[in-house]
């Protein structure tokens, strides 16, 4: 029995460190190779020794697929390929390929240069690792080898995020990565066709949430920014360099354009600037509006948003600044925050979740006096706003995607166990699809039905089609033919052709049967009686009385004979070929019941 085996090395009932092993029809594929943000020791990377104890990874894995550039999906890649050792192909989309090394490099810098970690991957390793990457286009079917093929679908979420279909023969698995079912200001919604995979591996970050429309949040955000700058206040928006930052930039840029505002908007240089460059390049990956207006103007070539300089923070008058990092724990955003915190006209908008212990978390939870280093106390008079923009599908979105793809079963990853439980129950209840949620290291085995393709000759198919009058789509139908197995492929041909091909002579197989009838009349008369009897019953068939006294029904021959010993009984000889077996046996059973009494 063929089967699909799935083992999460990360992201099993957990968020972060996505890494899932899939074995499908003898092929082994690793989906994502992420790191965990919460750990600084060995636990931050998946346990690759699980895959193989002493062999080389390259021998075991056929390919690695990276869904998008977030570090919890690609952060362990250099470690995996260069330090553990993997030389096979790594597949990702073009934008991911472009942005991924930047983020890895940034991450490496923080880990090595700032925290002083040893035994970490080097810049060179990142470069070497990226050399193994094969970039794919959306909806492009890539043949990894003769049997294994993969195909990318649009996933929204971040620039270049993709869902991947992995297919071997007739078995297939879809891995969603992270995706978003509602469009935002710069990206579209995830979409997949009815590919009916055996298994759909989906993220479930918001398994227990049904979200409100995005419009209210956007409107609130814009209104707040607008009001503040109109009052002459300054707005600080701490963001991470990629993803939300671009969405908010587009949002503000279009609003500024629409409302004809002149207040300057700045974003911090460095990573954001670089990232914007890539967004400019990968227009086909963005949403409808940006794609359509691209001919007139590239939306990412901001008119109103300029690069930030340290000195601008002290400028008088209103302004809006996007600064990194997003949780106000260090860097530029914290510096600006310190400068502006004292003025109640100013505002800080936190567009995302903040980890405990950061300044961002403190101010969000309402703390108004912050202790900074050097025993300074910073009094926060500026307004603090929270605005969540998240790019994951909610429970409804997940269900919608499952409905679109129509998989045989679903496997949940990238979510909390408790929340998964709920969604699992819902999927099984409402979609009637079996659902799994393995923990890390736990293997799910999924039996699949093996389908064997058989080639059919066109002549035979046309002949059969001509017989059936009404079209009956997708219904099984009986078909006579000969199955030829040759060189490990199967062909269905008509029997004549099979004989010809195999060089065999046709043998006729005839069944004969004697039926004893109690009849005192002459043979001819008996035959005549049989004829009229059959004629009255078998109205659709061609029943004939031949001059030599025998009766034929189609190709079945019936002869009446009188055995010498008993004149009271007649023997009917019924003979038919193998092909007419059905009719033949029906006739014999009919005749065995005897003839009806002749009307006297």
Query: Does residue number 478 form part of the binding site for other proteins (CB under 8 A)?
Result: no
Which residue, 175 or 221, is less far from other proteins as judged by CB?
A: 221
- Of 148 and 395, nearer to other proteins (C-beta) is 395
Give the total residue count for the chain: 600
Does residue number 226 form part of the binding site for other proteins (CB under 8 A)? yes
Binding mask 4-33 for other proteins (x = CB under 8 A): ------------------------------
Which residue has 């636990």 as its token pair? 43
Name residues whose C-beta falls within 8 Å of residue 571's C-beta, 6 or more positions apart in sequence: 514, 515, 516, 517, 560, 561, 562, 563
Residue 66 touching other proteins (CB under 8 A): no
Task: Pick the piece of the chain touching other proteins (CB under 8 A) from 8-16, 109-117, 383-391, 441-449.
Answer: 383-391
CB of 87 or CB of 230, closer to other proteins: 230
What the block records as the tokens of 170 is: 């007739």
223 near other proteins, rule: CB under 8 A: yes
Please tell me the count of residues contacting other proteins according to CB under 8 A: 63
Residue 600 CB, shortest distance to other proteins, in Å, is 42
Q: Does 342 bind other proteins (CB under 8 A)?
A: no
Active site residue 3: no
* Least distance to other proteins, CB of residue 298, Å: 15
Which is nearer to other proteins, 194 or 507 (by Cβ)? 194
Closest distance of CB 302 from other proteins, Å: 15
The pair of structure tokens assigned to 165 is 């279909």
Q: Does 295 bind other proteins (CB under 8 A)?
A: no
294 lines the binding site for other proteins (CB under 8 A): no
When the beta carbons of 432 and 486 are compared against other proteins, the nearer one is: 432
Stretch in the footprint of other proteins (CB under 8 A) among 59-67, 89-97, 419-427, 528-536: 419-427
431 counts as binding other proteins under rule CB under 8 A: yes
Contact yes or no for 405/197 (Cβ under 8 A): yes
The residue among 73 and 185 lying less far from other proteins, judged by its C-beta, is 185
Query: Is 214 an interacting residue with respect to other proteins (CB under 8 A)?
Result: yes
Q: Which is nearer to other proteins, 316 or 471 (CB)?
A: 471
Name the pairing type of β-strands 265-267 and 162-168: unpaired
d(CA 286, CA 185): 9
CA angle 525, 530, 531 (to 5 degrees): 95
Shortest reach from residue 462's CB to other proteins, in Å: 7
Per-residue tokens: 91: 């597949």
Q: How far is the CB of 341 from other proteins (least distance, A)?
A: 16
Q: Which 274-293 residues touch other proteins, going by CB under 8 A?
A: 287-289
User: Minimum distance from CB of 368 to other proteins (Å)?
Assistant: 13
Cα separation, 444 vs 448, in Å, equals 13
Q: Are strands 569-577 and 444-447 parallel, antiparallel or unpaired?
A: unpaired
| 3-state SS track over 336-367 | HHHHHCCCCCCEEEECCCCCCCCHHHHHHCCC
463 binds other proteins (CB under 8 A): no
The 10 Å Cβ neighbour count of residue 243 is 23
Asked whether position 343 contacts other proteins by CB under 8 A, the answer is no
CA–CA distance, 450 with 2 (Å, rounded to integer): 6
For residue 365, what are its two tokens? 């939870």
Q: Does 182 bind other proteins (CB under 8 A)?
A: yes
370 CB-near residues (< 8 Å, 6+ apart): 359, 362, 363, 377, 378, 379, 380
Tokens representing 88 are: 């096979």
CB-CB contact of 409 with 446 (8 Å): yes
Nearer to other proteins among residue 391 and residue 534 (C-beta): 391
Binding other proteins (rule: CB under 8 A), the pick from 462, 480, 500, 514 is 462
Task: Find the shortest distance in angstroms from Cβ 183 to other proteins.
Answer: 4
Nearest to 28 by CA among 62, 2, 59: 62
Residue entry with tokens 């949002």: 251
| CA 92 centroid distance within chain | 15
User: Shortest Cβ distance from residue 182 to other proteins (Å)?
Assistant: 6
Residues of span 90-129 touching other proteins by CB under 8 A: none
| By the rule CB under 8 A, 600 interacts with other proteins | no
Q: Which of 20, 142, 380, 399 binds other proteins (CB under 8 A)?
A: 399
- CA dist 524 and 202 (Å) reads 79
- If one asks whether residue 220 binds other proteins (CB under 8 A), the answer comes out as yes
Q: Say if strands 265-267 and 234-238 run parallel, antiparallel, or are unpaired.
A: unpaired
How far CA 509 is from CA of 90, 247, 499, 579, 591, in Å, comes to 61, 78, 15, 8, 22
Cα-Cα-Cα-Cα torsion 22, 23, 29, 33, nearest 10 degrees, comes to: 30
Nearer to other proteins, 319 or 347 (CB): 347
Query: 367 - beta bridge partners?
Result: none
Distance CA 49, CA 169 (A): 29
State yes or no: residue 460 binds other proteins (CB under 8 A): no
Measured between alpha carbons, how far is 520 from 289 in angstroms, rounded to an integer?
A: 95
55 is an interface residue for other proteins by CB under 8 A: no
DSSP assignment letter at 299:
T
Q: Is 193 in the site for other proteins (CB under 8 A)?
A: yes
Residue from 259, 372, 454, 479 that binds other proteins (CB under 8 A)? 259
Catalytic site residue from 3, 117, 147, 203 = 203
Where along the sequence are the contacts to other proteins (CB under 8 A)? Answer: 182-183, 185, 188-189, 191-194, 208-220, 222-224, 226, 254, 257-260, 287-289, 364-366, 383-387, 395-396, 399-400, 403-404, 419, 422, 425-426, 430-431, 462, 465-466, 469-474
The residues that are catalytic are: 203
């Amino acid at each position: 029995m063929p089967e699909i085996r799935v083992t999460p090395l990360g992201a099993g009932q957990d968020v972060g460190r996505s890494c899932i092993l899939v074995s499908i029809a003898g092929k082994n594929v690793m989906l994502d190779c992420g790191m965990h943000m919460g750990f600084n020791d060995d636990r931050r990377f998946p346990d690759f020794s699980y895959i193989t104890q002493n062999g080389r990874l390259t021998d075991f894995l056929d390919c690695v697929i990276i869904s998008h550039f977030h570090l919890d999906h690609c952060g362990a890649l250099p470690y995996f390929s260069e330090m553990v050792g993997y030389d096979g192909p790594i597949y990702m989309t073009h934008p991911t390929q472009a942005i991924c090394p930047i983020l890895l490099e940034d991450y490496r810098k923080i880990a090595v240069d700032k925290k002083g970690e040893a035994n970490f991957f080097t810049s060179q390793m990142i470069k070497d690792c990226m050399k193994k990457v094969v970039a794919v286009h959306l909806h492009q079917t890539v043949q990894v080898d003769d049997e294994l093929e993969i195909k990318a679908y649009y996933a929204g979420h971040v620039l270049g995020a993709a869902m991947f279909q992995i297919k071997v023969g007739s078995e297939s698995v879809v891995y969603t990565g992270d995706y978003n079912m509602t469009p935002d200001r710069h990206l579209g919604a995830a979409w997949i066709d009815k590919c009916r995979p055996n298994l759909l591996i989906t993220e479930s970050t918001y398994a227990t949430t049904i979200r409100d429309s995005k419009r209210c949040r956007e409107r609130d955000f814009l209104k707040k920014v607008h009001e503040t700058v109109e009052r002459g206040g300054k707005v600080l928006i701490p963001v991470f360099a990629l993803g939300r930052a671009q969405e908010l930039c587009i949002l503000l840029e279009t609003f500024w354009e629409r409302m004809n505002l002149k207040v300057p908007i700045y974003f911090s240089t460095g990573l954001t600037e670089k990232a914007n460059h890539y967004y400019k390049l990968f227009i086909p990956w963005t949403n409808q509006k940006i794609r359509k207006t691209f001919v007139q103007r590239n939306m990412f070539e901001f008119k109103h948003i300029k690069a930030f300089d340290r000195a601008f923070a002290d400028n008088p008058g209103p302004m809006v600044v996007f600064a990194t990092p997003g949780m106000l724990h260090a860097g530029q955003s914290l510096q600006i925050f310190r400068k502006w915190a004292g003025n109640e006209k100013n505002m800080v908008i936190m567009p995302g979740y903040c980890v405990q212990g950061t300044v961002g978390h403190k101010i969000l939870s309402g703390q108004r006096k912050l202790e900074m280093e050097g025993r300074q106390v910073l009094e926060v008079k500026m307004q603090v706003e929270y605005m969540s923009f998240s790019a994951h599908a909610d429970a409804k979105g997940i269900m919608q995607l499952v409905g679109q793809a129509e998989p045989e079963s679903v496997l949940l990853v990238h979510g909390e166990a408790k929340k998964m439980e709920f969604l699992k129950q819902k999927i099984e209840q409402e979609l009637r699809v079996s659902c799994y949620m393995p923990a890390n290291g736990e293997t799910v085995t999924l039996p699949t039905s093996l389908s064997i393709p058989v080639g059919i000759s066109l002549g035979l198919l046309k002949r059969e089609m001509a017989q059936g009058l009404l079209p009956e789509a997708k219904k099984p139908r009986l078909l006579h033919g000969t199955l030829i197995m040759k060189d490990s492929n199967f062909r269905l041909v008509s029997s004549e052709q099979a004989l010809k091909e195999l060089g065999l002579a046709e043998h006729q197989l005839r069944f004969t049967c004697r039926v004893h009838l109690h009849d005192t009349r002459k043979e001819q008369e008996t035959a005549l009686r049989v004829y009229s009897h059959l004629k009255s019953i078998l109205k659709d068939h061609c029943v004939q009385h031949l001059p030599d006294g025998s009766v034929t029904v189609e190709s079945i021959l019936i002869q009446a004979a009188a055995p010498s010993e008993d004149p009271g009984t007649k023997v009917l000889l019924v003979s038919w070929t193998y092909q007419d077996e059905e009719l033949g046996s029906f006739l014999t059973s009919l005749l065995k019941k005897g003839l009806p009494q002749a009307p006297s």
